[in-house]
Each structure stands twice: as structure tokens, then as C-alpha cells.
Amino acid sequence: MRTVNVSSLKNNPGEVLRFAREDMVLVMSCDKPDVLMVGVNQIDTLDIPGVRAALATALFNEGALSLARSARSAQMVLADFIAHVSRLGIPVISQTVVEVQQDMDTLDQWLTS
């Protein structure tokens, strides 16, 4: 296990992340253990059935990953991932009322041309 302090994490996060991919990293704050970082590949978490899909779904729902990247991360075909998140009540497209109205106006223009 490696130990780093918060300032090391702030100053060089890339290095700490590289450490965490290889070994656990304990982040100390004010000489007290604060955070334990463990690379997901170290503990084979992603190989547990359903974990990839759950992680990809959470990241998509939070807006951290696009729909296509989430599907790839879940190792699912895009159409299957869309069905998956739809069953969970997660909207695939999020638009404001104004954006929907603009799209409808554009569609009306195309249909009358």
C-alpha cells in the first residue's frame, strides 16, 4: 500500500491514480487516514455480473458519460443500453420545453418544404 497526503494528490493527481491502478493508496489528511483508493481492476469488480452495466448506468444518469460511451462501458449494444436505461426510467434524451418546441418547429418546416 502507498500513502500520500492531500497536497500530493492535489499537486499530482495523475501519479496518484497510476499508483492506485497498481496498489491501494491511502490518502492522509492532517496525519489521519482520509480516503482509500483502490483501482477497480485490482479487485476484479468489473467482472462481477451486472457491475459494468450498473456503473455505466450511474455514470450516464449523472451526465459523466455520453449514451454511446456508457453503452461501450457496459459492454452492451447501443440499442440494448437504451432499452436498459429506459426500463429504469432514465431519460435517454433530456431537452427543455423550448428545445422541444424548436425541434417541432424545424420538423414542421421540413415537412412543408
What would the mean pLDDT of 86-97 be, rounded to a whole number? 90
- pLDDT class for 83, splitting at 50, 70, 90? very high
Phi, psi of 22 (to 5 degrees): -100, -30
26, 53: one domain: no
Q: Say if residue 32 is in the same domain as residue 49.
A: no
73: amino acid identity, one letter:
S
Q: What is the pLDDT of residues 52-80, one digit of tens each?
A: 899 999 999 999 999 999 999 999 999 99
- Domain of residue 29 covers 2-37
How many domains does one find in the chain?
2
Do residue 81 and residue 106 come from a single domain?
Answer: yes
pLDDT, one tens digit per residue, over 9-54 is 899 899 999 988 888 899 999 989 999 988 887 777 777 788 889 9
Based on the domain organization, do 97 and 62 belong to the same domain? Answer: yes
pTM of the model: 0.64
Identify the band that residue 2 occupies on the pLDDT scale cut at 50, 70 and 90: confident
Q: At residue 84, what is the residue type? A: H
Count of C-beta atoms within a 10 Å radius of residue 37: 17
Q: Are residue 57 and residue 16 in the same domain, yes or no?
A: no
- How far, in Å, CA of 96 to CA of 102, rounded? 10
Which pLDDT value is given to residue 44? 77
Asked if 59 and 113 sit in the same domain, the reply is yes
**Does 73 lie in the same domain as 111?**
yes
Identify whether residues 27 and 51 lie together within a single domain: no
Do residues 50 and 92 share a domain? yes
56 burial type by CB count under 10 A (0-12 exposed, 13-18 middle, 19+ buried): buried
